[in-house]
Amino acid sequence: MPRNPILDLAIAPALANTLFTASRLGVFDLLAGGGMSAPQLAERARAKSPVFAVLLDACVAMGLLRVKEGIYTNSHLSNVHLVKGRPHYVGDYLHVQAIESAGWQRLHEVIIQGGTPAQYGVDTSVETDRFTMAMNNLAMLGEAEALASAVDLSGRKTMADVGCGSGMYSVVLCRHNRDLHSTLLDRDEVLATAQRIVEESKLQGRISTRRVDITKDPYGENLDVVLLSDVLYQD
């Protein structure tokens, strides 16, 4: 029987929530060091329900885990994207999507009755550091490298990264352009995360931070480049 795209869309929320739950329980992190049985994983994940074993088998069916003789291991995809600390980790992005998915469940009510999901008892707020790291996950997947490859900044020396988020675009652009210096402009709580990433990248000498309100404050003087990425949002 051929796949029906409508049915695929209908089951997508169940698949997404399986992924969100396994990630939140730390399944992929637990398996980063080697295989485990379902009881071993349940103990380490503090999972008390027998449904946990069903979750593991669902992850196998989705290609996120493998199982052989009762021992579960990460698939290559999970080892690359779902283990915390790996270069292409997307767990922070999954966390944000899991929170926001609750709002989508009330879409019908919002459209018919007006208002926002919060008015129907749904909290879709995300802590600043986690949201900033979610955006960093996307940059690390290749967006920042694609920008650096597409834009020639030869000879440019000063850049303002407006609404910088994690600062990863500046990190990658500075790595590609040895004369470039960047100033990260954002709110204090965002800059705290960005500063950590800059220090981890060993680029403190070329990337600085400055607290601004990007809708009101000047970005700087004598700038060669102004970068704005993912700064427009609507509540």
pLDDT in tens, 6-34: 999 999 999 999 999 999 999 999 999 99
The pLDDT of residue 234 is 52
Task: Say what percent of the chain tops pLDDT 90.
Answer: 83
pLDDT of amino acid 14: 96
The answer on pLDDT for 235 being more than 70 is no
Nearest CA among 212, 193, 183, 171 for reference residue 126: 193
**Identity of the residue numbered 49:** S
pLDDT confidence band for 231 (50 / 70 / 90): confident
Q: Who has greater pLDDT, 114 or 217? A: 217
| CA–CA distance, 222 with 225 (Å, rounded to integer) | 9
Cα 125–Cα 216–Cα 115 angle in degrees, nearest 5: 35
100-142 pLDDT, tens per residue?
888 888 888 889 988 877 776 667 677 899 999 999 999 999 9
With respect to CATH, is domain 129-228 assigned 3.40.50.1970?
A: no
Q: Taking the CA of residue 205 as centre, how many other CA atoms within 13 Å lie in the half-sphere pointing to its CB?
A: 4
Please name the amino acid found at residue 10. A
- pLDDT 10s digits, 178-198: 999 999 999 999 999 999 999
Question: Which strands, in side-by-side order, build the sheet including 158-162?
Answer: 207-211, 181-186, 158-162, 225-228
* CATH classification code of 5-81: 1.10.10.10
Bridge-partner residues for 228, per DSSP? Answer: 162
Average pLDDT, the chain: 93
Residue 36: both structure tokens together:
């485990």
- How confident is the model at residue 110, as a pLDDT? 86
Residue 189 structure tokens: 């709580």
Indicate if the pLDDT at residue 222 is higher than 90.
Answer: yes
Q: Residue ranges of the domains in the chain?
A: 5-81, 91-126, 129-228
Return the pLDDT at 52: 98
Give me the pLDDT at residue 233, please: 64
